[in-house]
Structure 1
Amino acid sequence: MMSDIHISVRTLVEYVYSSGSIDSRFRPQSTLVDGTRAHQKIQKTYKVGDQKEVYLSVEIPFDGMNFVIDGRCDGLLFEDGEVTIDEIKSFSRPLEQLEGEGYPVHWAQAKAYAYIYAREQKLQDIFVQLTYVNTELDQKKYYKSKFTLTQLEDFIYEVIKTYAPYARLQLQHIENRNASAKELAFPFPSYRNGQRQLAGAVYKTISDRKNLFAKAPTGIGKTISTLFPSVKAIGEGEITRIFYLTAKTITRTTAEEALDRMRACGLSLKSVTVTAKDKVCFKDETNCQKEYCEFANGYYDRINGAVLDILANEQGLTREVIERYALKHKVCPFEYSIDLAYAVDAVICDYNYIFDPQVSLKRLFEEQKKSTVLLVDEAHNLVDRGREMFSASISKDVFLQLKKEYKGINKPVYEAAGKVNSWFISLKKEHPNKNEFVIETLDEGLIELLHEFIETAEPLLKIEPHANLLDSYFTVQSFLKIAELLDDHFVMYGEKHKNNFTLKLFCLDPSQLLKQMGKSFRSKVFFSATLSPMTYYRDVVGGNEDDFAVMISSPFSKEQTDVYLKPLSTRYRDRENTKGEIVAAIQTFIKNNPGNWLIFFPSYQYLLTVYEQFKQQDSETNTLLQSQGMTEADREAFLKEFQPDSTDTLLGFAVLGGIFSEGIDLKGDRLNGVMVVGVGLPQICFERDLIKDHFNKNSKNGYNYAYVYPGMNKVLQSAGRLIRSETDRGTIVLIDDRFLKQPYHALLPEEWSNYTVI
């Protein structure tokens, strides 16, 4: 039996006919809207009897495969017994700059629709028309040709012939993938306590098309416990793709290792890790223009060969593998990874690629989403990340600077920037004595001024990418996009800082927008060691009442950890008075329990204060200090100092919620103790109080939502660095009197319940 290859007309012809270079030069953000407007404008000129957005499909057997090709043609025109397929394309430059007789990829798309319709209607010939439109200049240009059915049939078979090697490669891989996934056994000799329960919950979630919130302790092996059942679901035909979403580089490595382990046990599955553009770029400056970058120049002429090569020879497409093949084929490694993301079975990437509307993978079709599971690792991070994605701000000083910069240079930009600057001055005068204040409604006058600024900036940016103007343009566009989302989950506020003034659209509760961005996917699995309390996380990341929930008990015994609570006040007003006792506690514990320790503080300033006093009293003990703005190399060097079987004590001073408080794995004697100073509460500030007030109004405990739960999450994550396996032992010291009081005490894990108060 022949296997079906489902593919859209556009995807097929773009694979075969796309050519040219990556060009990140300025394009107006209105291009997509202009394209829609261009289609609608032309379609309104169609005569009675003409049709628009006509769905067409055809099945074509070829070389043992059955190609099911479909799509919607823009127009179907009838005149004097002749039929014309109309393909409409918007063009941002003046139409005189159109080269040749239209683009080959556009002709290919129109001819494919023409073939399907002519074959279906048994027409011997048919007209094909390309309609290019520049809505801004109100220009139209037509190219029209007549083709026989035989010509079109030869054309479509040539296209399919070119695409067939890739289709066959994917088809053979899918057969191998499904069979190997079906036969795959758990890739360890046995399950740890709790792993089977988590894996079963994930599989049932996928099978039942539900979502799952899973709290599973650090060290249980959450990555393999979520990926393995997802792979088994692929083998059973439940899903076809996995997205493993993370907030940090280190957890991506763990996912890669889990997939490699399953491959070593016989699994055939292709995965890609997407690394941020600025990290993976081969050039000194990330400038995607063919004149500057040889990897952007001619990218689309070489990408098909690059994709075929890597898919034919590799399974785990990590950053290193992608870079090697990108150099071989001279293609941009970032764009290469994005193109591969649409071709592989599993994608390991940042949350942004799914949840951020300005970054998300746009070519994922609804049907593909319906057969995809999202595995959201360290899901507690999605709360604040969601707020960031859906918030935006603009500042007065940006427009004042542009006004100065373009005075006497470009009058429209000078005047538009000046008007926005003046608007800020007026707002400032309305609130002369306040540094921060809520604004009840968004001024439509400001929106008009910002659109005017966009319109005056675009003509200049089309000619030359002025750095400040370009940055301001995108900042304003982002602000305008978020402004369209405003509802009661947002607040707008002004913030004064010296002579500058910022207006921010702040997303208080990202739940609805996170839910909307993830709504079409088959299932979503949110998991973390610190997804507690579960009701809070379900509320703020867009869960539903009928979502599944599972809480896995720790697989480790209480005897592996000695837990101590020292009830000192670490509140800001008491820090100077109690820092001596904290230093004394550190000295006592390292004397009685020598080895490698991490000591976490709620702020960098607090850390420095205690560190300096400790060094004054003890200059002999080896110490490491987390510095601000550490690079990945700095971070690796810091962690490398934590060696097993060390005869000397090593203290690492770090910040709660920072780069060393989650996602790091110091197994065995590499870490012997963790001390956490404070309950991790975010600093009291205007934004956090806005979050508190919002949830209070919605019948929640606003203080817990804004301060307590995020703070204690940092505590639990930091202390969770200690016990990573059944053989680990160590000491946890919690310094703060609030650990003995509610609601903090209730959030301590059950396995710490045999604590000692000192």
Structure 2
Amino acid sequence: MIPHVVRISVKDLVEYTLRSGDIDTRFVGTSRAVEGTRIHQKLQKAGGDNYIAEVTLKYEISYKDFLFLVEGRADGIISEQQQVVIDEIKTTAIPLERIDETFNTLHWAQAKCYGLIYGEQNKVEQLAIQLTYYNIDTEEIKRLRETVTLQELQTFFYGLLDSYLVWAKQLEAWKELRDSSIKKLNFPFPAYRQGQRELAVAVYRTISDNKKLFVQAPTGIGKTISTLFPAVKAMGEHKTGKIFYLTAKTITRQVAEEAVNVMRGCGLDFKSITITAKDKICFKEKSICNPDHCEYAQGHFDRVNDAIMELFLQERAFTRDVIEAYSQKHMVCPFELSLDLALWADCVICDYNYVFDPRVYLKRFFQTSQGDYTFLIDEAHNLVDRAREMFSAELTKSTFLKVKNLCKGQPIGKTLSKINTVMLGMKKECGEEGYYTQLDQPEELYPLLWTFVKKASALLTDNHKADGYDALLELYFNVLIFLKMVELYDGHYITYVETSSSEVTVKLFCLDPSKLLGEAVQRGKSSVFFSATLVPLDYFSEILGGEATDAKIAFPSPFKVEHLCLLVADRISTKFKNRASSYQEIAQYIHLAIQQKPGNYLVFFPSYHYMQEVYHIFSELYSDIETLIQTNVMSELERESFLERFRPDSNRMLLGFCVLGGIFSEGIDLKGDKLLGTVIIGVGLPQICLERNLIMEHFRKKNELGFEYAYMYPGMNKVLQAAGRVIRSEDDKGVVLLIDERFSSYYYKKLFPAHWRYPREVRDGNEINTWLQVFWKGL
């Protein structure tokens, strides 16, 4: 009989069999993520020639009808004269006198597993297990050592496997049921739409070949089901082990959930989980994870395995509501439960952050070797700027000054003063321009920041309720994030210092996220980047970390071209210097665009100020037309209320004023007569600013496409997204009026999608009226 295969990391094996007690994230050396790496390297280097650092260990063992593939990475293996030592390094802020042999059984268990693997593979009958604790405040080191025989390690390891077999058997039974249902699964709709079958085949081949694919697929093809269905089929054939469906917005996560439910309705047995952000799913007013503050944190690890087992046996869709219900029943943390369940789910639906952001990505999946994962990256055009945010970090002088004032009399005050002094010096260098840039890192800050981390660590460990604790903790984490980005800094970055009034900002700015995104997707085996507006495809392929050998496909719109009336009013300039003189004419053109057919319309502007100025004029000129206007900050309820006003009503005129690139220009679905048309003012160029200009200069030197990469392509993406609100289904018909002289230039026209190739250029109001009369009467 062929044994069932179980792949698991040493860390997961140990945690799921031995963990117990509370969740407690009160400050006990939380700097491990950043400072821990530096300390590990320091101790490993100090070990000398006999110290082999970061040793990857893999072990295959057949045990009770299962083939376990266990892997991990030992911090160090030391060759001494008398014996081999397995070294496991732990950084801590806990005084070392509190740490003894009974301090943490998980630490010992992890090191023993490494010892078992090394001993088995190297025929070593006896070796030493060593735990090295490094106190990040005092820099003291404490080593605990235990000599064990290989037979003792085998007994211990088999005990872990026996405990884990309960889970393994359940998971294997589930996989057999799942794979059987996948084999019987057909495409969940009566027929493929135009382009849909070709997209599904391309995705399947990409997964089968462990490749990357970039897809520009207009609205209507059905991108979600066309990527998920072939991924599910590939899973049934063991071509991928787990699917990550990555999105930028809640609405697209809901669409993915619905697509999986559609397949379940056709007989698919499949477990999916949607990961909700910690702050949103937490039951408490503030997500403070310690047993004194939260009853769900108290004893969480004593109860969580029972919660996982019951939920896994009873449910298929691990949605937010389901996770919250089981969390309350078993009194466990819903966020931690969802992270654990992700290990058992077939598909993980989540935000980009959980795969790409170095600060929060799911280390349980991505910290060791490449996983058997498929990444389906929806609305991939959003990932460019999101990636720049993920890979950048900044510090401001005012936050250091604030904490200094709150920590009067504390030794940390001197360090904060020195940091403030250095930043004042940076401010002087900014000169009249108010900023300066440099290719090198601000290394003069680093020794002071590390000193701050060490002193803040000591304060935070012992003063949970002291004045200024929260502000110090926030600054502490901001500094750690900054120092984390230091590890990533290379030629794709630039440092800039900017000053405004008394403020000074120092930023490590990621100009080009392509390298880091490329490395991130290597954590899986295949990736599909897709969007309705991945235009131009070569630009997005490059900036999202693609390679020359990656496949790229652009699909035509499946909708009838004659259902869209595309007009270009190219006699008006909306450039910043000309905007004030355009308000009246813009208002008149908007009215012309909507007057031929009553119904609902949206108009998009390049800025709030431009929108408000035209809104006031339009409201005075056409007071009989009902209007709505987007505000700077809108709650979820206000957004829903705004969209609910767009109801089909042929006897009413409703016009919504919105900002291009804002919350209503993408991700909303107003089908049929809910929306008859949009008017788009300007070519969507991002506001001129220091960062955009730095991006422009970087790519000007790299490929002579600086303006295009920094301004033109991101701007046109906003235009295409806003225009895409109009035709959402094969029965939809509508109007798009583009207002700006640049829309008729070759450089912008070549970015028009195929179904925009022949726009009607209108020179005045009469031509707009004529074309719209012809369009609406001809339908």
TM-score by length of 2: 0.90
Residue 6 of structure 1: CA displacement? 3.4
Contact 1:94–1:137 at 8 Å: present in 2 too? no
One-letter amino acid matched to 1:451: W
- Per the alignment, residue 675 of structure 2 pairs with 671
Whole-angstrom distance in 2 between the partners of 1:94 and 1:674: 64
One-letter amino acid matched to 1:104: T
Whole-angstrom distance in 2 between the partners of 1:442 and 1:44: 27
- Per the alignment, residue 270 of structure 1 pairs with 271
Does residue 468 of structure 1 match 2:471?
yes
- Per the alignment, residue 10 of structure 1 pairs with 11
Cα 1:368/1:182, change in 2 over 3 Å: farther
Structure 2 residue aligned with 1:486, among 467, 474, 489? 489
Contact 1:354–1:360 at 8 Å: present in 2 too? yes
SS of residue matched to 2:363: coil
SS of residue matched to 1:364: helix
In the alignment, structure 1 segments of 5+ residues that lack a partner are none
One-letter amino acid matched to 2:642: F
Does residue 398 of structure 1 match 2:402?
no
Residue 402 of structure 1: CA displacement? 2.8
Contact 2:44–2:53 at 8 Å: present in 1 too? no
Correspondence 1:611-622 to 2 at 5 A: 611-622=615-626
What per-residue deviation string (whole Å, max 9, x for no partner) do you get for residues 491-532 of structure 1? 222211111111222111111111122223211111111111
Correspondence 1:204-353 to 2 at 5 A: 204-353=205-354
Structure 2 residue aligned with 1:649, among 647, 653, 672? 653
Cα 1:59/1:742, change in 2 over 3 Å: same
Whole-angstrom distance in 1 between the partners of 2:625 and 2:114: 75
Structure 2 residue aligned with 1:714, among 691, 714, 718? 718
Cα 1:201/1:131, change in 2 over 3 Å: closer
Contact 2:248–2:351 at 8 Å: present in 1 too? yes
Cα 1:9/1:212, change in 2 over 3 Å: closer
Whole-angstrom distance in 2 between the partners of 1:166 and 1:248: 33
Greater Cα offset, 52-61 or 313-322: 52-61
- Per the alignment, residue 133 of structure 2 pairs with 133
Correspondence 1:306-705 to 2 at 5 A: 306-365=307-366, 369-407=370-408, 409-410=409-410, 412-465=411-464, 466-567=469-570, 568-645=572-649, 647-705=651-709
What per-residue deviation string (whole Å, max 9, x for no partner) do you get for residues 357-415 of structure 1? 111111215787442111111111111111111111112222222333333x21x3211
Residue 541 of structure 1: CA displacement? 1.2
- Per the alignment, residue 201 of structure 1 pairs with 202
Cα 1:108/1:498, change in 2 over 3 Å: closer
Whole-angstrom distance in 1 between the partners of 2:566 and 2:749: 13
Whole-angstrom distance in 2 between the partners of 1:563 and 1:629: 31
Structure 2 residue aligned with 1:743, among 747, 771, 777? 747
Contact 2:370–2:524 at 8 Å: present in 1 too? yes
Structure 1 residue aligned with 2:144, among 134, 142, 145? 142
One-letter amino acid matched to 1:180: S
Residue 537 of structure 1: CA displacement? 1.0
Residue 146 of structure 1: CA displacement? 6.6
What per-residue deviation string (whole Å, max 9, x for no partner) do you get for residues 686-741 of structure 1? 22111111111113321111111111100000110111111111111111121111
One-letter amino acid matched to 1:696: R
Question: RMSD of aligned C-alpha atoms?
Answer: 3.0
One-letter amino acid matched to 1:318: T
Whole-angstrom distance in 1 between the partners of 2:581 and 2:118: 83
What per-residue deviation string (whole Å, max 9, x for no partner) do you get for residues 517-571 of structure 1? 2223211111111111111112211111111010101100111111222222222
Cα 1:14/1:589, change in 2 over 3 Å: same
Residue 285 of structure 1: CA displacement? 1.1
What per-residue deviation string (whole Å, max 9, x for no partner) do you get for residues 581-605 of structure 1? 2222222232212111111111111
SS of residue matched to 1:444: coil
Cα 1:693/1:79, change in 2 over 3 Å: closer
Residue 58 of structure 1: CA displacement? 5.9
- Per the alignment, residue 192 of structure 1 pairs with 193
Whole-angstrom distance in 1 between the partners of 2:16 and 2:422: 49
What per-residue deviation string (whole Å, max 9, x for no partner) do you get for residues 431-451 of structure 1? 432213323533432222222
Cα 1:644/1:629, change in 2 over 3 Å: same
One-letter amino acid matched to 2:276: T
Whole-angstrom distance in 2 between the partners of 1:353 and 1:491: 25
One-letter amino acid matched to 1:486: Y
What per-residue deviation string (whole Å, max 9, x for no partner) do you get for residues 307-364 of structure 1? 1122111112122221122212222222222222222111111111111111111121
Contact 1:114–1:126 at 8 Å: present in 2 too? no
Residue 281 of structure 1: CA displacement? 1.3
Contact 1:373–1:521 at 8 Å: present in 2 too? yes
One-letter amino acid matched to 1:261: V
Greater Cα offset, 106-115 or 641-650: 106-115
What per-residue deviation string (whole Å, max 9, x for no partner) do you get for residues 49-90 of structure 1? 99995957463533x44445565666688998x998776655
Whole-angstrom distance in 1 between the partners of 2:721 and 2:232: 28
Contact 1:46–1:77 at 8 Å: present in 2 too? no
Contact 1:245–1:375 at 8 Å: present in 2 too? yes
Whole-angstrom distance in 2 between the partners of 1:104 and 1:437: 51
One-letter amino acid matched to 2:729: S
Contact 2:28–2:94 at 8 Å: present in 1 too? no
- Per the alignment, residue 63 of structure 2 pairs with 61
In the alignment, structure 2 segments of 5+ residues that lack a partner are 763-779
Cα 1:90/1:688, change in 2 over 3 Å: closer
Whole-angstrom distance in 2 between the partners of 1:473 and 1:668: 51
TM-score by length of 1: 0.92
Whole-angstrom distance in 2 between the partners of 1:422 and 1:118: 54
Contact 1:111–1:128 at 8 Å: present in 2 too? no
Cα 1:591/1:489, change in 2 over 3 Å: same
Residue 31 of structure 1: CA displacement? 2.5
Whole-angstrom distance in 2 between the partners of 1:447 and 1:54: 31
Contact 1:101–1:143 at 8 Å: present in 2 too? no
Whole-angstrom distance in 2 between the partners of 1:514 and 1:560: 38
Q: Number of aligned pairs?
A: 752
SS of residue matched to 2:348: strand
One-letter amino acid matched to 2:485: I
Contact 1:200–1:229 at 8 Å: present in 2 too? yes
SS of residue matched to 2:213: strand
Cα 1:665/1:205, change in 2 over 3 Å: same
One-letter amino acid matched to 2:131: T
Whole-angstrom distance in 1 between the partners of 2:185 and 2:740: 48
